[in-house]
Structure 1
Amino acid sequence: MVQPATTPEHWTELIAARRQRRILTEQVAALKRSCASECGKRHVSECSKCWPLVIDKMRQRYIESPDREWFTSRKAFHQELEELFADAKEHRISIRQIEARIESEKEAWYRWILRKHAEFLVTCNDDYVHDELRGMLDDPDRSRDEVVEMMWRGIGKPPDWAERVDAFAARVAAAGGNPAALKKLYVDEFFMDKGTSEPLEDSKPYLDEYLSNENMGIEEILGKIMKDAQESRNLRPQRDMHTARLDDLRRAKMADELNKKQQAKSQAQAAQERVAGEDLYNLPPCLVCGKTLDTHDVFSCPVCQAVTQMGGKKELTVFCSEECHAAGFDDHTSEAHACESGDNCVLERSDGQVDDVEMDDGTSQDGFICRECLGLKRVTAFCSERCAFENVVNHYQRHHEAKADADEVSSLVRPMQETLESILRRENPGLHMEWLA
C-alpha cells in the first residue's frame, strides 16, 4: 500500500538557500574589496593570498552548510565538490565549470524528488501527463524545463505563483521558528478559504487532527492528505466483479418486427451494426443450456468478449436468456476469471465474506486488471483493490519478469469495469450496450 508521504518543508529550504546565498555574496564581496585595497590586484583571482580564501568561502557554502538544503545528504557530490574546489584554487578549472556541475546535480536531485514523491501529481487526472512525466524523468535528453512544464501542466500553474511563494516564505521567516505562530500560518495557508475565511471543502477532518495534535508537523498532515487523495483517485468505487452481473449487448428487433417509427430507428442501428466483427455473429451455443443463440438478443461475458475483440486467445462465452445468465455467470467468472491472488486473496483469508461493499479496512472490493497483461491481450483480474495492492508486485515478478516497487502499484493496475467498458465501446462503435445491474 502507499505509505504516508513525509516530504520536507520545502519553503524552509528555500529560505535557507536564500540566506546562505546572501551570506556568501556578502563574504566574497568583502574579500574582493579587501584584496583591491590591500593587494592591488585587478581581480581577486590573480591574488595568491585572497583567491584561496574566496574558494574556501564557496566550498563552505556547499560542504559545511549549517542548514538543510537540497544537497545536504548527497555525500558523493560533496566529495566531488572537494576535488573541484581544490582544482579551482590552482586555476585548473573555472568557477563557471563548478557552477555548471552544481546545476547538473541540482537537476538530478529534482528528478529524484519527483520519482520519490509522486504525490505531487495527485491532483492531476490526466494519464498522459503521468506517463509523459515518468518517461521524462528517466530520459536525459529531456531538459529540466520540459520536466517543469509537464509538472505545471499536471498540477496547474497559478499566474501569481512566484509572488505567492515569496510572500509565504517571508511570513515563515518572520515567524522565527515559533511553533504556535507557524501552526497558525500553516492553517491559514493550507486549510482556509481566503475569500470566506472558512475551512476548505473536505479539509475539516484534517484540520481538526492537525490542531488537536501539537506534535504533528505540517508535512505529516499534508502527507496524509496526499496519501488519501492518491487512493481516492486510483481506487474509485466500482461494482464488485464477483457479485455484479454485467448487462450484455442487446440488439434492436429487425425492422419487420417494428412499427414504422421503430423501423426508422432499426435501420439506423442496422447501418451501424455492420462495423461489428464476425466474432459477434458466429456465436457458440449457450453455456448453460446449449441452445443456439439469436444474434439479435445476446447475453455475453464481458471479459471474454473484451479479450476476443482485442485479438487475444479467448472464445466468447454467451447465454441465451437472463435466466441462463443468472444460473451460469457467477460459476463461469469464478472458474475462468478467478482472482489472480489465489490462496493469497483477501477474500479467501476473510472466509469468503463478500457481501459487504467494503473490506474491513474500508477499501473497495472492486475488480482491477494488470496493465501489462492487458497489453498482451489478456485479462488478469484481482478481486479488489486490496488484493491488487498486496499481490500485483509478485505477479509482475512471476509473469512479466519485471521488478516493481510497492509505491508503483497504482500504475500497475486499472479498474476492471471502467477498462472493460472502454474496450467494448472502442471495439463496437455500432452496438448499443447495456450492463446488467
Structure 2
Amino acid sequence: MLEPWDEVLNLNRERQRCADDLEKIKAACARDHAKQHVTQCPECWDRLVNRMRDRYLNCATKEWFSGRRLFLQELDTMFSKARGGSLDFKIIDQRIHDEKRDWYRDKVRNMGLHSATRSPSEAKLLQQKLDDREIPTEELASELRGAIGDDALPDEAAFDNFLNRLKDAEKNQARNDIYIDVLFQPRRDPEKAAMYQKYTEMIRGGVTIQSVVDVMLRDRRRAQSNEEQKQRLQGKLEELKRAKAAHELSLAKKQKARQDKAAAAAASDSQHDLPPCSVCSKALDAEDFLACPLCHLLGEQYGLGNGPVLYCSETCHEDDYAKPVSIYTTLTLKWTRPGGSPCFVGNGVHVPERKKARVEVDDESQLEYASEDKTQYRASKIEEHLVTLGDALEEYQQRTGATVS
C-alpha cells in the first residue's frame, strides 16, 4: 500500500508523462500532416483522445481513481463521445474534478484526521464540514490545515519541499530519515523529538507511515480519554469536598443548636435553683439579679444569717438594704455594751465557780468586773475582740479575690 505522498508523486509523474505525450502528438500532427490543429486530423485526434483515456483507464500505477470502477466506466463512455466530437472535454474535466473532490472527502474522513484536532469541539466542527458537500474542496483543505497544522508544517511550500526530497531518495533508509526529520523535527526541537522516540523507532523498523499515524492517533485518543476521565474524577472529588463541607456545616449547626438548647436548659435550671426575691418574692432572672454583699460576707465569713439575700431589681435592693445594716448594728451594740455579750451573760460562768468546778480558766486576765457584786464581767479591752465592717470586707476580699461594692 502506497503512502499518500507516494500517490502524489505518481500523480505528478503520470500527469507530466501524459502532458508530454499529448504535446508530442500535436507536434507530430503539425509536422507530418500539416494540420494547424489536431482536431482537424481524425487520425491524430483519435491518438490524442486514446492517450487521455489511457491516463485513467490503463494507468500502470496506483492513483486516487484506481479501483473506482463506476467512475472509470463513466469516463470510458465520455471519452468515446468526445472521440466522435459529441462531447466537450470541459465536461470531462468537470466530471473528473467532482470525482476527485468526493475521493478527497472520503480519504480525509477515513484517515481520522478529526482526531488530531486540538479539542473535541474542533473535531465535531471538522466532521460537520467533511459531511457538507457544498463546501469547496479548496476551502475544506484550508480548514483541515488550520485544524491540525502547527509551526512544523506552515504551508504548502513545506510539503512541496518534502516531496522533492522524497523524489531524490533512492533507499528506504533515506526515506525514513526524511520522514523523521519532517514529522518530528529532531534538529529543531530535540526535547520534543525525544518524546516521540516510540514512533521514530517504528519508522526506522520499516513500519509504514500510515500505520505509525494510526498508532499516534490511538495514543492521542487514549490520552484524551485519560484526561477526560481525570477531569471527571476531579469533578467528582470537588463534589465530594462540597458535600463534606455541607455535611460538616450541618453537623456544626446541629451541635450549636444542641449546645444552645443545653445552655438554655441550664439557665432555666439555675434560675429555678435561685431563691425568690427577698423583698417581693418574685422569681429571679438567672442573668439579671442583685445580692446583698454584707449578708453574703456575714454568712461566708462568720456563719451568720439564713442563706443569701437576693433582689430582683434595684428598687427591692434599695428598699431592703437597711435591714442587714440594722442587724449588723444591733449585733455590734449587743457585743460592745456593758453586760451585753451573750457569752458573758447567758453562757458565761462565774470565775470562782469555774475554779471550784476545776474548769480551766484561761481568760481571767482579759476580764474586768462590770458590777459591784462582782458577778458580771466584761472584756477589759473590747476593741481586741471586735472586727470592724471595713476590716471584715478587706479580709474577705483578700481571701476570695472578690470585689465587694
TM-score by length of 2: 0.55
SS of the aligned residue for 2:230 comes to coil
Q: Return the offset for 1:182.
A: 1.7
Distance 1:242 1:199 in 2: 28
Alignment of 1:312-323 (within 5 A): none
Task: Please tell me whether residue 89 in structure 1 is matched to residue 83 in structure 2.
Answer: yes
Which of 216, 226, 236 is the aligned partner of 2:207? 216
* Identity fraction in percent: 23
Q: Return the offset for 1:246.
A: 4.7
Which of 62, 66, 70 is the aligned partner of 1:68? 62
Q: Return the offset for 1:59.
A: 1.0
Q: Return the offset for 1:75.
A: 1.4
Q: Return the offset for 1:95.
A: 1.3
Alignment of 1:153-172 (within 5 A): 153-156=146-149, 160-172=154-166
Task: Please tell me whether residue 123 in structure 1 is matched to residue 123 in structure 2.
Answer: no
Distance 1:142 1:97 in 2: 21
Alignment of 1:196-235 (within 5 A): 200-211=193-204, 213=205, 215-235=206-226
Q: Return the offset for 1:187.
A: 2.5
Q: Return closer, same or farther for 1:53/1:229 CA change in 2, 3 Å cut-off.
A: same
Distance 2:192 2:230 in 1: 30
Larger radius of gyration: 2
Distance 1:171 1:79 in 2: 36
Q: Return closer, same or farther for 1:10/1:238 CA change in 2, 3 Å cut-off.
A: same
More helix, by proportion: 2
Alignment of 1:37-186 (within 5 A): 37-118=31-112, 120-156=113-149, 160-176=154-170, 178-186=171-179
Distance 2:110 2:101 in 1: 14
Task: Please tell me whether residue 247 in structure 1 is matched to residue 239 in structure 2.
Answer: yes
Kindly indicate whether the alpha-carbon contact (under 8 Å) linking 1:175 and 1:181 is maintained by their aligned counterparts in 2.
yes
Kindly indicate whether the alpha-carbon contact (under 8 Å) linking 1:122 and 1:233 is maintained by their aligned counterparts in 2.
no
Read off the aligned partner of 1:107 and give its amino acid letter: R
Q: Return the offset for 1:224.
A: 1.1
Q: Return closer, same or farther for 1:136/1:190 CA change in 2, 3 Å cut-off.
A: closer
Gapped runs of 5+ residues in structure 2? 253-405
Q: Return the offset for 1:197.
A: 5.6
Kindly indicate whether the alpha-carbon contact (under 8 Å) linking 2:114 and 2:127 is maintained by their aligned counterparts in 1.
no
For residues 311-347 of structure 1, give each alpha carbon's deviation from its aligned partner in whole angstroms, at most 9, with x where no partner exists: xxxxxxxx9669xxxxxxxxxxxxxxxxxxxxxxxxx
Distance 1:111 1:60 in 2: 25
Read off the aligned partner of 1:146 and give its amino acid letter: E
SS of the aligned residue for 2:161 comes to helix
SS of the aligned residue for 1:71 comes to coil
Alignment of 1:348-359 (within 5 A): none
Read off the aligned partner of 1:18 and give its amino acid letter: N
SS of the aligned residue for 1:247 comes to helix
Q: Tell me which residue corresponds to 1:35.
A: 29
Kindly indicate whether the alpha-carbon contact (under 8 Å) linking 1:63 and 1:78 is maintained by their aligned counterparts in 2.
yes
Kindly indicate whether the alpha-carbon contact (under 8 Å) linking 2:22 and 2:51 is maintained by their aligned counterparts in 1.
yes
Q: Return the offset for 1:193.
A: 2.3
Q: Tell me which residue corresponds to 2:327.
A: none
Distance 1:235 1:8 in 2: 33
RMSD of Structure 2 on Structure 1 (CA): 3.0
Q: Return closer, same or farther for 1:150/1:162 CA change in 2, 3 Å cut-off.
A: closer
Q: Tell me which residue corresponds to 1:238.
A: 230
Q: Return the offset for 1:8.
A: 4.9
Distance 1:235 1:73 in 2: 39
Q: Return closer, same or farther for 1:140/1:321 CA change in 2, 3 Å cut-off.
A: farther
Distance 1:20 1:243 in 2: 57
The number of aligned residues is: 248
Distance 2:63 2:251 in 1: 67
SS of the aligned residue for 2:39 comes to helix
Distance 2:2 2:226 in 1: 27
Distance 2:162 2:236 in 1: 50
Distance 2:173 2:242 in 1: 64
Read off the aligned partner of 1:228 and give its amino acid letter: D
Kindly indicate whether the alpha-carbon contact (under 8 Å) linking 1:129 and 1:153 is maintained by their aligned counterparts in 2.
no
Read off the aligned partner of 1:216 and give its amino acid letter: V
Distance 1:181 1:48 in 2: 49
Q: Return closer, same or farther for 1:145/1:182 CA change in 2, 3 Å cut-off.
A: closer
Q: Tell me which residue corresponds to 1:24.
A: 18
Gapped runs of 5+ residues in structure 1? 1-6, 252-296, 300-318, 323-437
